[in-house]
Chains A and B, each alone.
Chain A
Amino acid sequence: MRRPSALPAAAVTALAALALAACAPQAPEEADAPATGGSTAAAAGSDTLTIATTTDVVNYNPLIGNSRSDYWITNLMYPHLLSIADDGSKEPMLATDWGYVDDTTGYYEIRDDFMWSDGEPLTADDVAYTLNAVKRDAPAGTFYGQMGTFEAESAVAVSDTRVEFTLTEPDTSLVEEIGFWGNVVPQHVFEPAGSVAEFANDGSDGGWVSAGPYLLTDVQAGQSYTMERVEPYPLVEGGVPGPETVVYRVLPDVNTEILALQSGEVDAIANALPPAQVEQLRSTEGIEVVEVVGLGYAHMVYNMDNPDLAKTEVRQALAHAADYESIRQVVLQGQAVSTGSSALMPVLADYYDESLTEYEFDPELSRSLMEQAGYTAGPDGMFPVSFRLIYSLQDSVGSQWAQLVQASAAEAGITIELQGTERNTYLAMTNEGDYDIYAGNFAIMDDPVTNFRLSYLPGGAINYTHVDDPELNELIAQAGVTTDEDEKIELMRQAAAIVHEQVYDNIMYTQNLYVAHSSDWTGFISKPSELLSIVNPVSVASARKTDG
């Protein structure tokens, strides 16, 4: 028998090896590499702050912000007009003053000492351009979503430091909301690129420019984002940010992030810690755990398109059939506070209404309410209704409490079928109203009027209850045009009382958030919400190495 020749096999192997070699990772040239930065803090140098994040940057255009990493990194380059305090009130950032010239004219007065890193001054022209471009091009994202009553092409720079714009109707929330949610972008970079909805701003045309404390200088997709200090940054004392370099390292698994923090490979974790990890890290030497005020809430919403759920008594019965305290203690390990079942959370100190109290867990009361609604329990004690509750499987906390809600509802004789789905399916089902009960959460509900408009007015983008209550509509509409702060608060409290009584929404808790950093670093300035926390621009720029 003739033995098979080894030549063809060797040729195939050689070809495969050549193909592999051609595709092999290439070592970076020293000249092309960033001045500092790296996968270990020690290797990167002592003036490098290395922050872990779970996701890559999806989009470098801050007007299309999508992932948290987009927000964190672009925030270090493109300033917001306003920031936020722990009680949800707005604070100066790029803007020093803001408000209304009259019912339908808003304005911002901005600082005169901000510069873009390419030497161009940041002026009111940049602000006016940004506002008009976002309204015109409608980039996907929260910024555009806040511009409902902003009149197209109305923003005008009336001086180098003042912008005025027109509203299509009186709206006392607009100025603060777009000031808080929107980044200002450089007109001289974005305008030549065309539509801001399609501009990638990926640095391929000569890099980025920044008016924040840092400038993105190197991107290793899937690995790290290196940013160099920009001076001056007027929002820190002395105008010089602390860390010379900030490196965002991508560690998709939160357990890997924690190991990297413990080993010293990263100095901070940007995303909030899972509740179960908080206590363990608190007792870990060399790690500081910082509490961040939560500005959002978790809730259940009952779809009133379902004839059973259209009955107030049934919604009330469901509201009294959940053990909220157990959920907060067991699932969230005590890291959450009750909001009194109101969307006006305690954190919104001016608006919070102590007279609204949490729905008490009382299965007997639930049963009584179901009977009032006309239902009779069968021999097994169960009422002849069944509700489908949807939740996202990516939300580990929500997935856990959904089980508890199902179990406690059964005690009240109400059947709940759980339908956990992958996030995109969940979003699609939510959008189509394909649920009886929606379980979810919102990260930031900073402005009560905006929140109520979106949540409870007919056609509101997050009106998952599908409620249309004329009395509630009127109160929200009045609050939206009332400039007197006390009167606005009173109107919102009345609106919240209706939502509470009618169970148009069932707010379960505000989660306290915790982030961690190495005790080798200090000086962070925490801001509310996971989006800002200790990685907001002023905080990062204020961070310093601890002595010794």
Chain B
Amino acid sequence: MSIALFVLRRLGRGVLTVWFAVTVTFLLLRLLPGDPALAVASTNMTEEARAALLTQYGLDKPLPTQYVLYLGQLLQGNLGTSFTQSVPVLDVLAQRIPWTLLLTATALVLTVVVGIPLGVAAAAHQGRFVDRAVQVIGVTGQSLFVPSVGILLLYLFGLQLGWLPIGGAYSQNVFGFEWYGSVLSHLVLPAVSLTLIQLGSYALTMRATVVEALRDDYVVLARANGIPYRRILWKHALRNALLPATTLIGLQLGFLVGGAVLTETVFAYPGVGRGIYEAVTQLDFPVLQGAFLLLAVTVVAANTLTDIAYGFLDPRVKAS
């Protein structure tokens, strides 16, 4: 199969996945038991006022009509208008996207940069202290609850030691390089929290794949040929183990975004995750649809890129 066809097929699959996600999101939101009108005005409203609100939101139309109108809007790049804020959804999301991207990308990089050496070290010392320590860290990390970790970090590094700020994404009243420094200092704790909850699964996966790679015939042959173990480990076994780890990065992006909802809440980080939480409490369908579309596109794009990269790294994938 040519590279172009391979890429096209992956892109086509991505578009179909996004359409599916858009449709499921649209239907699921309307299956929720709540009522957007009540979420805005509580129960202290007349039936007429409620009906007027539903008309204003376009929720008085039959479901298929709403769906067709929504898809039509989407194809024109229009994500609709927020029920509660009366402003375009794109404007609502545009303010928040950069912060979520910064947070999740940082956490992803940290996860990979720390997770790979941890996994490799554990595999290289299988059954010994380092291996057991990594496994304990891995399992513990997977069972951490973000808000608890977040508050603990804030208490320690924000209140007691005073090294890092408590909440927010940057200090106001600072500009230029100082502003970037402030962004960095505000980023540390949420990124570390998010990394901690992802690191375990990544390190354990790396460990398992490296252990498997170390059992392959070519490793035995390399050792028999007298190639140093360190070189076999880092140059040969790790390269092969990186393929499944690459896939995991794509998959983890979805989990990272999920974790960002809680992380952004505890650290008052102004990202999309927190926006989703607020929109859920207000049943703001357009904002939720826009946010989930954005997340779907991001995750699908990341996975498509991973697939394509995988195709380049392993010709067997492309051939299949």
Tell me if A43 and B171 are in contact (CB < 8 A).
yes
B30 beta carbon closer than 8 Å to chain A: no
Tell me if A37 and B101 are in contact (CB < 8 A).
no
Tell me if B84 and A66 are in contact (CB < 8 A).
yes
Query: Bound complex: CA of A387 vs CA of B305, how far in Å?
Result: 55
What residues of B have a CB within 8 angstroms of the CB of A59 in the complex?
Answer: 84-86
Q: Chain A, 1-32, contact with B by CB distance < 8 Å: what is the 0/1 string? A: 00011001100100010001001111111100
Indicate which residue in A66, A199, A253, A259 contacts B155 across the interface (CB closer than 8 Å). A259
Query: Bound complex: CA of A427 vs CA of B281, how far in Å?
Result: 11
Tell me if B174 and A145 are in contact (CB < 8 A).
no
Tell me if A25 and B96 are in contact (CB < 8 A).
no
Tell me if B37 and A37 are in contact (CB < 8 A).
no
Query: Bound complex: CA of A458 vs CA of B13, how far in Å?
Result: 57
Tell me if A429 and B33 are in contact (CB < 8 A).
yes
Q: Known A38-B172, A259-B155; judge A430-B35 contact (CB<8 A).
A: no
What residues of A have a CB within 8 angstroms of the CB of B168 in the complex?
Answer: 39, 223-224, 249, 251
Tell me if B154 and A256 are in contact (CB < 8 A).
yes
Tell me if B173 and A425 are in contact (CB < 8 A).
no
What residues of B have a CB within 8 angstroms of the CB of A20 in the complex?
Answer: 101, 105
Interface size class on chain B is 35 or more
Tell me if A38 and B167 are in contact (CB < 8 A).
no
What residues of B have a CB within 8 angstroms of the CB of A256 in the complex?
Answer: 150-151, 154, 166-167, 266-268
B225 beta carbon closer than 8 Å to chain A: no
Q: Which residue of B lies closest to A247 (CB)?
A: B172
Tell me if B282 and A58 are in contact (CB < 8 A).
yes
B80 beta carbon closer than 8 Å to chain A: no
Indicate which residue in B99, B105, B169, B312 contacts A8 across the interface (CB closer than 8 Å). B312
Query: Bound complex: CA of A302 vs CA of B309, how far in Å?
Result: 62
What residues of A have a CB within 8 angstroms of the CB of B158 in the complex?
Answer: 259, 263
B98 beta carbon closer than 8 Å to chain A: yes
Q: Chain B, 179-215, contact with A by CB distance < 8 Å: what is the 0/1 string? A: 1100100100000000000000000000000000000
Q: Chain A, 35-56, contact with B by CB distance < 8 Å: what is the 0/1 string? A: 0111110011100000000011
Q: Known A140-B40, A222-B270; judge A58-B84 contact (CB<8 A).
A: yes
What residues of A have a CB within 8 angstroms of the CB of B170 in the complex?
Answer: 25, 39, 223
Q: Chain A, 138-173, contact with B by CB distance < 8 Å: what is the 0/1 string? A: 101110110000000000000000000000000000
Q: Known A44-B173, A428-B33; judge A222-B95 contact (CB<8 A).
A: yes
What residues of B have a CB within 8 angstroms of the CB of A37 in the complex?
Answer: 172-173
B252 beta carbon closer than 8 Å to chain A: no
What residues of A have a CB within 8 angstroms of the CB of B92 in the complex?
Answer: 221
B102 beta carbon closer than 8 Å to chain A: yes
Q: Chain B, 268-298, contact with A by CB distance < 8 Å: what is the 0/1 string? A: 1111001101100111000000000000000
What residues of B have a CB within 8 angstroms of the CB of A12 in the complex?
Answer: 305, 308-309
B46 beta carbon closer than 8 Å to chain A: yes
B53 beta carbon closer than 8 Å to chain A: yes
CB distance from A257 to the nearest CB of B (A): 8
CB distance from B192 to the nearest CB of A (A): 16
CB distance from A523 to the nearest CB of B (A): 24
Tell me if A56 and B315 are in contact (CB < 8 A).
no
B175 beta carbon closer than 8 Å to chain A: yes
Tell me if B175 and A30 are in contact (CB < 8 A).
yes
What residues of A have a CB within 8 angstroms of the CB of B95 in the complex?
Answer: 221-222
Q: Which residue of B lies closest to A252 (CB)?
A: B265
Q: Chain A, 278-314, contact with B by CB distance < 8 Å: what is the 0/1 string? A: 0000000000000000000000000000000000000
Indicate which residue in A61, A66, A223, A425 contacts B40 across the interface (CB closer than 8 Å). A66
CB distance from B306 to the nearest CB of A (A): 9
Q: Known A12-B305, A20-B101, A462-B43; judge A222-B49 contact (CB<8 A).
A: no
Tell me if A425 and B33 are in contact (CB < 8 A).
yes
What residues of B have a CB within 8 angstroms of the CB of A61 in the complex?
Answer: 86
CB distance from B58 to the nearest CB of A (A): 13
Which chain B residues in 54-88 approach chain A with CB under 8 Å? Answer: 56, 84-87
A265 beta carbon closer than 8 Å to chain B: yes
B165 beta carbon closer than 8 Å to chain A: yes
Q: Known A39-B168, A260-B166; judge A28-B35 contact (CB<8 A).
A: no
Query: Bound complex: CA of A33 vs CA of B151, how far in Å?
Result: 30
Query: Bound complex: CA of A461 vs CA of B48, how far in Å?
Result: 12
Q: Known A220-B172, A252-B274, A424-B281; judge A263-B43 contact (CB<8 A).
A: no
Q: Chain B, 97-124, contact with A by CB distance < 8 Å: what is the 0/1 string? A: 1110110010000000000000000000
Tell me if A428 and B167 are in contact (CB < 8 A).
no
Query: Bound complex: CA of A106 vs CA of B277, how far in Å?
Result: 43
Which chain B residues in 215-242 approach chain A with CB under 8 Å? Answer: none
Q: Which residue of A lies closest to B33 (CB)?
A: A425
A494 beta carbon closer than 8 Å to chain B: no
What residues of B have a CB within 8 angstroms of the CB of A23 in the complex?
Answer: 97-98, 101
What residues of B have a CB within 8 angstroms of the CB of A8 in the complex?
Answer: 3, 308-309, 312
B159 beta carbon closer than 8 Å to chain A: yes
Indicate which residue in A66, A198, A220, A454 contacts B270 across the interface (CB closer than 8 Å). A220
Tell me if A140 and B162 are in contact (CB < 8 A).
no
What residues of A have a CB within 8 angstroms of the CB of B171 in the complex?
Answer: 38-40, 43
B16 beta carbon closer than 8 Å to chain A: no
What residues of B have a CB within 8 angstroms of the CB of A33 in the complex?
Answer: 172-173, 175
CB distance from B153 to the nearest CB of A (A): 11
Query: Bound complex: CA of A471 vs CA of B308, how far in Å?
Result: 76
Indicate which residue in B38, B166, B169, B266 contacts A427 across the interface (CB closer than 8 Å). B38
What residues of A have a CB within 8 angstroms of the CB of B99 in the complex?
Answer: 25, 222
Q: Known A256-B266, A429-B33, A431-B35; judge A424-B283 contact (CB<8 A).
A: yes
B residues contacting A by CB (< 8 A) are 3, 32-35, 37-46, 48-49, 52-53, 56, 84-87, 92, 95-99, 101-102, 105, 147, 150-151, 154-155, 158-159, 162, 165-176, 179-180, 183, 186, 265-271, 274-275, 277-278, 281-283, 305, 308-309, 312-315
A residues contacting B by CB (< 8 A) are 4-5, 8-9, 12, 16, 20, 23-30, 33-34, 36-40, 43-45, 55-56, 58-59, 61, 64, 66, 138, 140-142, 144-145, 197-200, 202, 204, 218, 220-224, 226, 247, 249-253, 255-256, 259-260, 262-263, 265, 394, 421-425, 427-431, 454, 461-462
Additional pairs, 7, CB under 8 Å, beyond known A28-B179, A40-B165, A138-B49: A25-B170, A28-B172, A221-B270, A224-B172, A226-B172, A423-B281, A431-B38
Closest 3 A-B residue pairs measured CB to CB?
A222-B270, A424-B34, A38-B172
A-B contact pairs, 15 of them (CB 8 A): A4-B313, A8-B3, A25-B170, A33-B172, A61-B86, A66-B282, A141-B41, A202-B87, A223-B170, A251-B166, A259-B158, A424-B34, A427-B38, A430-B43, A461-B44
